[in-house]
Structure 1
Amino acid sequence: MNKKNRAFLKWAGGKFKLVDTLKTYLPDGDRLVEPFVGAGSVFLNTHYSKYLLCDINQDLINLYKIIQKQPELYIKESRKLFCEKMNAKEAYYDIRTQFNATKDPFERSIYFLYMNRHGFNGLCRYNRTGGFNVPFGSYKKPYFPEIELNAFSEKAQVAEFECIGYEKAFEQAKSGDVIYCDPPYAPLSTTASFTTYVGAGFTLDDQALLARVSRHVARDKNIPVVISNHDIPLTRELYHGARLGKIQVQRNISQKGNGRKKVNELIALYDKDYHFDDE
């Protein structure tokens, strides 16, 4: 049994625990296209010849490109912030201020990993003006993911990273590709909406548009598309006609301990067997 590779970033909604099940839904192909790459657990634990990994978070994509091309320098410099004196509230907020003030991609990437490991719950969240605003996490000894960084860099040699939205990612898909979408999830209820990590958010209209684009790409380009989302009446309606699967998953977004419970996750597959009669 192959050892699973963990992402070096902590990530809300990360797919590490689900990747073995997800892989049973992913068809064979030459290249995997991920319009919402996130922390990259699916990328790290699948075996396609090539990858196109996309996200609208420029900091995330810059970080991945740097680790792809300069892993040794990045590890050397980022390790310096993982020490006892930097694991303090004052130090964290100082780094956060510096991150929000600089535009240098390498410097922002160093700070990004530090804040991901020292910030609350590994969240990635920005305010309306683009400032990172996750509070300090108060962890005893944040882990420096050197092993995971090296593994990511090695695997990234067969990947291309693009800071683009999902529609443009779909446009780049070609024959032989497989598309896996892990979008910001539809809220379980009106009170459970999680503020998305970048920009103005992923609306219910976006959810509907993603489903529509997926159907059309599967039909018109014969490219299979897999989407994961919460299993709720809305998503079952949006993905009507696709082949559906269900997984139970632990959700840890809530700050309250009793809010961390198992929920059902829906996996939708659009492929040549999708029923297009109602289009």
Structure 2
Amino acid sequence: MNAAPDLFSRVGLSIAAGQPLRGQLLKWVGNKQRFAKELISHFPAEFNAYFEPFVGSGAVLATLAPREGYAGDVFAPLVEIWSTLKRDPGQVIAWYAERRALMDQLGKVEAYQRVRDSYNRAANGADLLFLSRACYGGVVRFRKSDGHMSTPCGAHVPIPVERFRQRALEWSARIASTEFVHCDYRELMGRARSGDVVYCDPPYVDSQAILYGAQAFRLHELFDAIAECKQRGVFVALSIDGTKKSGRNVVDIAPPEGLFAKELQVHCGRSMLRRFQMDGRTLETEHVSDRLLLTH
């Protein structure tokens, strides 16, 4: 479905909303940047505050550019990146520049391994920022045995510092009116009130169990939190597993009856996570789509 003509003149959006983003700030598996405008087109025409309790790559948040936003995640280093970008984008640019420079000194793979070792000694946003841009396909994976990030270095060359600087400044402007919170999704959703919008993009049950935060996630608990929001008059949109393998394999997740008023399909192309799991083999038959569930 095409976005409504007045999509980005809606109540609740800043003047930056709808302007094309230069590119991803973080490389992140499941990133919704290519589909963010379509997702937003299904939000209510008018709303108050915007909540995103699984902020991840921040793509929907930055595309929306709300006048009043609240975004959170259980992953503390990720929240550190977003909080610092809002407060001091120059610091985030310096983080990236310092680690990107290691590539000239050590070579890409050794520089990546050094930063990953640093992160595994003490998890932090500065290292995670570079790792997300340099790791394979943005797949931030942790070993169950020790919790260490184990994703190998990607084949691509991380973007130059100047390009990253331009993106960081642009994204910082778009999130200027958003408060970032390190918390469980239920805590952030509990703050939403009647007339607010909540967009949920949680770990996908069928494919993302290896990713950060996914091991402890329980979908039925999210459905409970959505039901509580709905009772308070909060509008909720949920992206969830849809189809895999060119639409032939439907992920059969049945939400509680009556919880959602509408369901849509959003085509997402090929899965980078599936490519990672297949050791880089071709994904010609591995197309996927998301289900977008709406309480309104």
Shorter chain as normaliser: what TM range? 0.7 to 0.9
Partner of 2:31: 14
Does the 8 A contact of 1:7 with 1:40 survive in 2? no
Q: Give the superposition deviation at 1:13.
A: 0.5
Structure 1 unaligned spans of 5+: 272-279
Partner SS for 1:81: helix
Does the 8 A contact of 1:179 with 1:225 survive in 2? yes
Among 112, 120, 124, which residue is 1:100 paired with? 120
Among 152, 161, 164, which residue is 1:135 paired with? 152
Partner SS for 2:51: strand
Partner of 1:119: 135
Mapped pair 1:49 → 2:71: no
- TM-score norm. by structure 1 comes to 0.84
Q: Give the superposition deviation at 1:109.
A: 2.3
Among 243, 247, 258, which residue is 2:282 paired with? 258
- TM-score norm. by structure 2 comes to 0.80
Partner SS for 1:254: helix
Does the 8 A contact of 1:239 with 1:268 survive in 2? no
Q: Deviations over 1:87-137 (max 9, x none)?
A: 42222212111122236xxxx322112111111112212233332222122
Question: What is the aligned residue count?
Answer: 258
Does the 8 A contact of 1:44 with 1:155 survive in 2? yes
Q: Deviations over 1:228-273 (max 9, x none)?
A: 11224533x21543211112111221233334632221111113xx
- What amino acid maps onto 2:91 in structure 1? L
Do the aligned partners of residues 233 and 73 (structure 1) sit closer, same or farther apart at CA in structure 2, a change above 3 Å counting? closer
| Cα distance in 2 between the residues matched to 1:67 and 1:233 | 36
Partner SS for 1:157: coil
Among 194, 198, 205, which residue is 1:186 paired with? 205
Among 219, 222, 225, which residue is 2:233 paired with? 222
Mapped pair 1:31 → 2:42: no
Partner SS for 1:253: helix
Q: Deviations over 1:207-242 (max 9, x none)?
A: 122123212321x2010110011224533x215432
Partner of 1:167: 186
Partner SS for 1:125: coil
Q: Give the superposition deviation at 1:199.
A: 6.2
CA RMSD of aligned residues (A): 2.2
Partner SS for 2:174: helix
Q: Give the superposition deviation at 1:141.
A: 4.9
| Cα distance in 2 between the residues matched to 1:199 and 1:127 | 12
Q: Give the superposition deviation at 1:16.
A: 0.7
Do the aligned partners of residues 269 and 118 (structure 1) sit closer, same or farther apart at CA in structure 2, a change above 3 Å counting? same
Among 204, 219, 223, which residue is 1:207 paired with? 219
Does the 8 A contact of 1:229 with 1:267 survive in 2? yes
| Cα distance in 1 between the residues matched to 2:273 and 2:160 | 20
Partner of 1:147: 166
Does the 8 A contact of 2:43 with 2:237 survive in 1? yes
- What amino acid maps onto 1:78 in structure 2? Y
Do the aligned partners of residues 112 and 47 (structure 1) sit closer, same or farther apart at CA in structure 2, a change above 3 Å counting? closer
| Cα distance in 2 between the residues matched to 1:199 and 1:217 | 22
Does the 8 A contact of 2:24 with 2:59 survive in 1? yes
Mapped pair 1:89 → 2:109: yes
Does the 8 A contact of 1:126 with 1:199 survive in 2? no
- What amino acid maps onto 2:282 in structure 1? N
- What amino acid maps onto 1:269 in structure 2? L
Structure 2 unaligned spans of 5+: 1-7, 9-17, 243-249
- What amino acid maps onto 2:289 in structure 1? N
Q: Give the superposition deviation at 1:40.
A: 0.5
Partner of 1:270: 295
- What amino acid maps onto 2:290 in structure 1? E
Does the 8 A contact of 1:87 with 1:118 survive in 2? no
Partner SS for 2:130: helix
